[in-house]
C-alpha cells in the first residue's frame, strides 16, 4: 500500500518537469513496444477514428491539460492510432476494439494490461491511469491467470478471482461465468463486489444467451439491481448488450447454427421484461445478421424479405414521422423565440438534420443494413432489384451518404455502372463526411467502379 501511495504522490508532483499535455510518440507499433519494454513502462494507446466526436473532444479538451501530461508522460509511452488506417486496423482488431475512443494500456510484450474508453473528464481519466499503473505492478497480471486457466485450474476461488481480474481488464467473461456459476453459493451471488464486477458495463463484455447465469439473472434481476445500487432495468440492459456481443463474436463468428434459436428466445424474453417495442422486427433483424455474418446466401434471401416486408415495413411509419415532426418542433422552439442562438451551436446543420428525423434515422439505417446484406451476399438480379428499392426507400426516409453508397453499390451489381458512379459521387459530397476519411473512401470507391471493380466496403 505504501508503494502505491508513494507512486501516487510522484504522479502528481512532477509538474515542473512536464508542464504540458500528453506527448505522443510517432514511431511504428514495433518501435513503441520496444521503447516501452526498455523503459519498463506501459504503452497508452488512444484508439480513435476521424469521425468520432468524443475522440475529438478528448484530443481538444483533456489530452492537452498540464495535469494530464504530468501523469501520462512520465508513466507511459503514449501512442495514437486511427482504427481505420495503416497499422491501426490490425491493432484495433487484435485487441477487439468495438467503440471509440478506446484506451489500451499494453506492456512491452504487447499484452493488454488494462483498457477503458469514452469521453472522460480529466479527473476520471487520471483515475483510469492510476488503475492501469496498479495493474502493471500487480504481481499476478492477467497473463498469469490465463496460464493457470489453460493449465486446467477450475476451483471456485480461482474462477471468482479470474472473473474479477478479467472484469478489471475488460475482457469478455461470458464462457468463464458459465463455468463458475454452478460453483457459486447463495452467499457468493449476494456478494456486491462480485456482482459489481460482473455487471460493470464494457462494450467487450459477454453473456451467454440462454445460459445458466442468464437463467439466474432472469429470475433475480431486481434483487441484483438492489444489491449493486442500480435501477431502471440496468442489469437486464447490460445483459442484453453482452448477449449481443456474444452473438457477434461467438455465435456468428463460429457459425453456431444451433445457438441462433437460443439467442432469439433469450432476446425476446429480455426485451419483453424491459417492455421494449418492435420485438418481432428485432428478432428478424438478428436472423438476417446471422446469415449475413455466416455468408449463407440461400438462407439470407428469405430472412431479408421477412425482416423488411414483415418486420420493418409493418411498423407504424406514419406515427414515427409524426413523432419526429413534433419532437423537432419542440427542439427548435427556444431558438425560434430567440432564447438560444443556433450560431453558437457546433455542428448545428448536422444536429438539425438528425433531430428532424430521430425515429426515421433508425428505420432508414435498418433498411440500409438489409440492402447492404444483400449486396454483400447475393448475386440474384431479382433480389438485387428488391434491395435497390430498400436502399432507395432508406434514403428517402433519411438522406445519408451511407444509404446512397449502398444504393450505388447495388446499382453497380445490376450492371448500371454510370448511374452507380454518379450516385457514389453524390454520396461523397454529404456534409457529414466532407473533408474526412469517409469521403476519401467513397471517392476511392468511385475509382474502383470506374475500373469495373465491385467495392468490398461501400462506406
**Whether 52 is catalytic:** yes
Give the pLDDT of residue 257: 97
pLDDT score recorded for residue 367? 98
| Whole-number pLDDT of residue 8 | 47
Q: What pLDDT band is residue 5 in, cutting at 50, 70 and 90?
A: very low
**Helix extents (H) in 294-436:** 297-309, 317-336, 348-355, 358-377, 381-397, 401-413, 417-428
Q: Give the chain's radius of gyration (CA, Å).
A: 25
pLDDT band at 346 (very low <50, low <70, confident <90, very high): confident
Residue 136: the pLDDT is 92
Note the pLDDT of residue 131.
87
Q: What percent of the chain has pLDDT over 70?
A: 96
**DSSP three-state, residue 24:** strand
Q: What's the whole-number mean pLDDT along residues 408-432?
A: 96
Q: Rounded mean pLDDT of 290-317?
A: 97
pLDDT computed for residue 2 by the predictor: 43
Candidate list 32, 33, 42, 55, residue with the active-site label: 55
pLDDT of residue 14: 41
**Which tens digit of pLDDT belongs to each residue from 347-384?**
788 888 888 999 999 999 999 999 999 999 999 999 99
pLDDT higher than threshold 80 for residue 7 = no
The one catalytic residue in 22, 36, 45, 52 is 52
User: What average pLDDT does range 1-21 have in this prediction?
Assistant: 49
Q: Give the ranges where 12-155 is alpha helix by DSSP (H).
A: 29-39, 53-61, 66-75, 86-94, 122-136, 142-150
Q: List, for residues 269-286, the tens digit of each pLDDT value.
A: 999 999 999 999 999 999
Summarize pLDDT for 45-92 with one digit per residue, the tens: 999 998 888 999 999 999 999 999 999 999 999 999 999 999 999 999
The pLDDT value recorded for residue 229 is 97
User: pLDDT for 205-264, tens place per residue?
Assistant: 999 999 999 999 999 999 999 999 999 999 999 999 999 999 999 999 999 999 999 999
Please state, rounded to an integer, the average pLDDT across all residues of the chain: 93
CA pair distance 271, 278, nearest whole angstrom? 9
**pLDDT at position 407, please?**
98
Residue 275, sorted as left (phi over 0), alpha (psi -120 to 50) or beta, turns out to be left
Instruction: Kindly report, residue by residue over 84-118, the tens digit of the pLDDT.
Output: 999 999 999 999 898 899 999 999 999 888 888 99
Predicted local distance difference test score (pLDDT) of residue 16: 39
Give the pLDDT of residue 353. Answer: 87
Confidence category of residue 169, pLDDT binned at 50, 70, 90: confident
Q: For residue range 133-144, list pLDDT tens digits in order.
A: 988 999 888 888
Give 18's pLDDT tier (boundaries 50, 70, 90): very low
Cα 224 from Cα 231, distance rounded (Å): 10
Convert 52-91 into a string of H (helix), E (strand) and C (coil): CHHHHHHHHHCCCCHHHHHHHHHHEEEEEEECCCHHHHHH
CB contact at 8 A, 370 and 308: yes
* pLDDT attached to residue 149: 95
Residue 414: C-alpha distances to residues 159, 215, 367, 382, 417 (Å): 54, 47, 19, 9, 8
Cell 507512486, residue located: 7
Domains of the chain: 2-138 (3.40.30.10), 143-276 (no CATH), 312-450 (1.25.40)
Check residue 51 and give its pLDDT.
85
- What's this model's pTM, rounded to 2 decimal places? 0.81
pLDDT of residue 168: 87
Amino acid at each position: 500500500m505504501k508503494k502505491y501511495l508513494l507512486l501516487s504522490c510522484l504522479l502528481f508532483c512532477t509538474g515542473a518537469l512536464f508542464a504540458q499535455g500528453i506527448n505522443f510518440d510517432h514511431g511504428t507499433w514495433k518501435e513503441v513496444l520496444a521503447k516501452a519494454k526498455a523503459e519498463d513502462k506501459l504503452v497508452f494507446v488512444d484508439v480513435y477514428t476521424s469521425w468520432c466526436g468524443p475522440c475529438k473532444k478528448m484530443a481538444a479538451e483533456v489530452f492537452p491539460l498540464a495535469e494530464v501530461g504530468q501523469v501520462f508522460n512520465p508513466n507511459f509511452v503514449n501512442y495514437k492510432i486511427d482504427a481505420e488506417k495503416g497499422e491501426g486496423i490490425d491493432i484495433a482488431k487484435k485487441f477487439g476494439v468495438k467503440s471509440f475512443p478506446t484506451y489500451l494500456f499494453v506492456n512491452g510484450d504487447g499484452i493488454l494490461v488494462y483498457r477503458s474508453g469514452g469521453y472522460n473528464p480529466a479527473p476520471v481519466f487520471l483515475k483510469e491511469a492510476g488503475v492501469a499503473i496498479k495493474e502493471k505492478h500487480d504481481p499476478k497480471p492477467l497473463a498469469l491467470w490465463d496460464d493457470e486457466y489453460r493449465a486446467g485450474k477450475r476451483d471456485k476461488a480461482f474462477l471468482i478471482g479470474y472473473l474479477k481480474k478479467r472484469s478489471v481488464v475488460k475482457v469478455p467473461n461470458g464462457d468463464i461465468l458459465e463455468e463458475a456459476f454452478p460453483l457459486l453459493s447463495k452467499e457468493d451471488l449476494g456478494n456486491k463486489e462480485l456482482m459489481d464486477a460482473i455487471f460493470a458495463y464494457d462494450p467487450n463484455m459477454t453473456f451467454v444467451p440462454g445460459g445458466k447465469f442468464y437463467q439466474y439473472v432472469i429470475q433475480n434481476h431486481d434483487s441484483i439491481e438492489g444489491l449493486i445500487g442500480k435501477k431502471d432495468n440496468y442489469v437486464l440492459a447490460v445483459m442484453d448488450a453482452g448477449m449481443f456481443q456474444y452473438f457477434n463474436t461467438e455465435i456468428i463468428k463460429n457459425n453456431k447454427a444451433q445457438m441462433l434459436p437460443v439467442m432469439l428466445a433469450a432476446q425476446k424474453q429480455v426485451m419483453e421484461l424491459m417492455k421494449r417495442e418492435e420485438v418481432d422486427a428485432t428478432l428478424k433483424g438478428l436472423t438476417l445478421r446471422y446469415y449475413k455474418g455466416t455468408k449463407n446466401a440461400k438462407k439470407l434471401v428469405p430472412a431479408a424479405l421477412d425482416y423488411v416486408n414483415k418486420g420493418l415495413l409493418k411498423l407504424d411509419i406514419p406515427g414515427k414521422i409524426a413523432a419526429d415532426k413534433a419532437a423537432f418542433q419542440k427542439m427548435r422552439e427556444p431558438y425560434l423565440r430567440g432564447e438560444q442562438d443556433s450560431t453558437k451551436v457546433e455542428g448545428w446543420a448536422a444536429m438539425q438534420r438528425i433531430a428532424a428525423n430521430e425515429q426515421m434515422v433508425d428505420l432508414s439505417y435498418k433498411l440500409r443494413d438489409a440492402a447492404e446484406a444483400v449486396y454483400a451476399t447475393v448475386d440474384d438480379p431479382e433480389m438485387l432489384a428488391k434491395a435497390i428499392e430498400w436502399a432507395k426507400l432508406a434514403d428517402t426516409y433519411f438522406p445519408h451518404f451511407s444509404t446512397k453508397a449502398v444504393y450505388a453499390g447495388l446499382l453497380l451489381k445490376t450492371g448500371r455502372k454510370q448511374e452507380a458512379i454518379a450516385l457514389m459521387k453524390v454520396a461523397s459530397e454529404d456534409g457529414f463526411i466532407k473533408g474526412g476519411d469517409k469521403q476519401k473512401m467513397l471517392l476511392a470507391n468511385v475509382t474502383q467502379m470506374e475500373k469495373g471493380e465491385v467495392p468490398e466496403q461501400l462506406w
